A and B are shown apart, each in its own frame.
Chain A
Amino acid sequence: MAYSEKAKSFYDTTLKNIKQDGLFKEERYIESPQAANIIVEFPLGAQQKQVLNFCANNYLGLSSHPDVVKAAHDGLDSRGYGMSSVRFICGTQDIHHELEEKLTKFLGTEDTILFPSCMEANAAIFEVMLDKEDAMISDRLVHASIVDGMRLSKAQLFNYKHNNMAHLEEKLQETQNCRFRLIITDGVFSMDGDMAKLDKICNLAEKYDAMVMVDDSHASGFIGKTGRGTHEHFNVMGRIDAITTTLGKALGGATGGCVSGRKGIVDLCRQRARPYLFSNTVPPVVVAASIKVIDLISNTTERRDKLERNTKYFREKMIKAGLDIKEGDTPIVPVMLYNAKLAQDVARDMYAEGIYVIGFFFPVVAQGQARIRTQISADHEFEHIDKAVAAFTKVGTKYNILGKKKDEIIAMYGM
């Protein structure tokens, strides 16, 4: 038998070690559409529980929006369920092209190519843009999909301390002899909720003749005055060479991603990007719903404005309640607990209070940086936020962490 005792024992031991290290991830079954209010079965077999969701990437609350659901139904009826093909054989419908054009216009770029996910867009772009005589210069806190994408490229890898422009400049000086340099960053960093300093990055890129690539997955649709993304926020639209982003978060939340940017880069992706050439086209139903999403958010900024108000309200209330949050402006609001067990205990108690949040700890974040990452949505009402803050206050009182800063929490619970 090919699945030998040796192999079985190895996998079993690995799983056991993951559990022993407290890193085992369990899925929670949601038995309702994605929204602020959800019905959850956790642990498996437990009675269903209605909870408020504070950990979804559903920033604009469009995942179950009636207009989006209707557009998906219409797309299913008019263009079918699957395409049974990659794009370049017989997997491109008129609506794929329409969505690419709409994304180009919305993001303010020259052209766009869809991918089945942003993970695949990131897996593609570096191999397409760069070769061994080139350099990738990346922020150290970029998303795992970028790290994996960079590993697929032959270009030399350099990285700079998180958001540290002096260190980035050092790397740009170190790589002067390379043919092309690409500065690589997230727009909004997923674990800390802070933004890359894109204005300064673009200035450095121009000074040292480098290109700029931004993954705006946690920004597209709501960061910037009209929700175009971090490039709008920093007033550098037109100065970013390549944006990768997802349709799987604010923009409807289903799946799909894209590379949007300079026409030459997008055209070359269509010829060379392996995840584009060898994986199926984005399903028509997702494309049709995504077109509706772009239309909705192009016509009005109502939802991103509400998200901004909710974010401000939540951040102010949490600070007033004495929780140690990472300050910033984005709807990713990390509640810092520093200790992994404490993060898990607080998340469990929050769930008992009807608030669904998750603890994050090493290796997802650095050692001693354990936290609960809360995420605000335009689907939340102030009363939802009040309930979440009240629950954090109750649980925070239990663990005696209110009004305490990093050193005091670490003194009580360790790192």
Chain B
Amino acid sequence: MSEDIKKMIIDYVKKEYLEEDSGVDVNENTKLISSGIVDSFSMVSLKMFLEKKFLVKIPDDKATPEAFDSVNNIMNLLKEFTKI
């Protein structure tokens, strides 16, 4: 289950933020924000995607660049708000 969710988030990140020919690989540990794959401006759309998919509301003070910096970090964040 948890692996399926990770894959879904990775697929979204690849589709939403990377060009097809970027050659960048994304796994659960890949730095998303600090590497610049997802800029702080685009983090809003990632937050919206997660909220919609998991029917949760992530408070702004929890939606930090650190919390979104890898798929593993995102998983930890989601665990606070939903039973995944």
Chain A positions near chain B (C-beta within 8 angstroms): 140, 147, 156-159, 161, 164, 362-363, 366-368
Q: Which residues of B contact A157 (CB under 8 A)?
A: 44-45
Known contacts A156-B48, A159-B41, A159-B44; 16 additional CB pairs below 8 A are: A140-B39, A140-B42, A147-B41, A157-B44, A157-B45, A158-B45, A159-B42, A159-B45, A161-B17, A161-B19, A164-B19, A363-B36, A363-B39, A366-B39, A367-B36, A368-B36
Is B2 in the interface zone, CB < 8 Å from A? no
Q: Point out the residue from B19, B35, B41, B42 that lies within 8 Å of A367, measured CB to CB.
A: B35
What 0/1 pattern do residues 7 to 42 of B give for CB contact below 8 A with A? Answer: 000000000010100000000000000011001011
CA A157 to CA B44, docked complex, whole Å: 7
Cα A327 to Cα B77 with chains together (Å): 42
What's the nearest-Cβ distance from chain A to residue B46, in Å?
A: 11
- B-side contacts of A367, CB under 8 Å: 35-36
Interface residues on B, range: 10 to 19
Distance, CA A368 to CA B35, complexed state (A): 9
Number of residue pairs A-B, CB distance < 8 angstroms: 23
Interface of B is mostly: loop
B44 surroundings in chain A (CB, below 8 A) = 157, 159
Complex alpha-carbon distance, A157 and B36, angstroms:
19
Q: Which of A159, A161, A366 sits near B36, CB closer than 8 Å?
A: A366
Bound-complex Cα distance A359 to B12 (A): 33
A sample of 23 inter-chain contacts (CB < 8 A) reads: A140-B39, A140-B41, A140-B42, A147-B41, A156-B48, A157-B44, A157-B45, A158-B45, A159-B41, A159-B42, A159-B44, A159-B45, A161-B17, A161-B19, A164-B19, A362-B36, A363-B36, A363-B39, A366-B36, A366-B39, A367-B35, A367-B36, A368-B36
Residues of B within 8 A of A140 (CB): 39, 41-42
Bound CA span A140–B18, Å: 12
In this complex, what residue of A is CB-closest to B34? Answer: A367
Which chain B residues in 27-74 approach chain A with CB under 8 Å?
35-36, 39, 41-42, 44-45, 48
Residue of B nearest to A157 (CB): B44
Complex-state Cα separation, A248 to B48, whole angstroms = 36
Closest residue on chain A to residue B24 by CB atoms: A368
- In the assembled complex, the CB of B34 is this many whole angstroms from the nearest CB of chain A, namely 9
What residues of A have a CB within 8 angstroms of the CB of B39 in the complex? 140, 363, 366
CB distance from A361 to the nearest CB of B (A): 11
How far is A367 from B39 in the complex, measured between Cα atoms in Å?
10
Contacts of B41 in A (CB 8 A): 140, 147, 159
Least Cβ–Cβ distance between A223 and chain B, in angstroms: 25
Query: How far is B36's CA from A164's CA once the two chains are assembled, in angstroms?
Result: 18
Instruction: Give the chain B neighbours of A158 by CB distance below 8 A.
Output: 45
Name A365's closest neighbour in chain B (CB-CB).
Answer: B36
What is the minimal beta-carbon distance from A172 to any residue of chain B, in angstroms?
Answer: 14
Least Cβ–Cβ distance between B31 and chain A, in angstroms: 9
What 6 A-B pairs are tightest by C-beta distance, nearest first? A367-B36, A366-B36, A147-B41, A157-B44, A367-B35, A159-B42
User: What is the distance, in angstroms, from B58's C-beta to the closest C-beta of chain A?
Assistant: 15
Report the separation of the CA atoms of residues A140 and B42 in the bound assembly, to the nearest whole angstrom. 7
B48 neighbours in A (Cβ, 8 Å): 156
Q: Considering the complex, give the chain A residue whose CB is closest to the CB of B35.
A: A367
Bound-state Cα–Cα, A368 to B31, Å? 14
Residue of B nearest to A167 (CB): B16
A362 contacts which chain B residues (CB < 8 A)? Answer: 36
How far, in angstroms, from A140 to B39 measured CA to CA in the complex? 9
Inter-chain contacts of A159 with B (CB < 8 A): 41-42, 44-45
Residue of A nearest to B39 (CB): A140
Which residues on the A side are within 8 Å of B17 (C-beta)?
A: 161
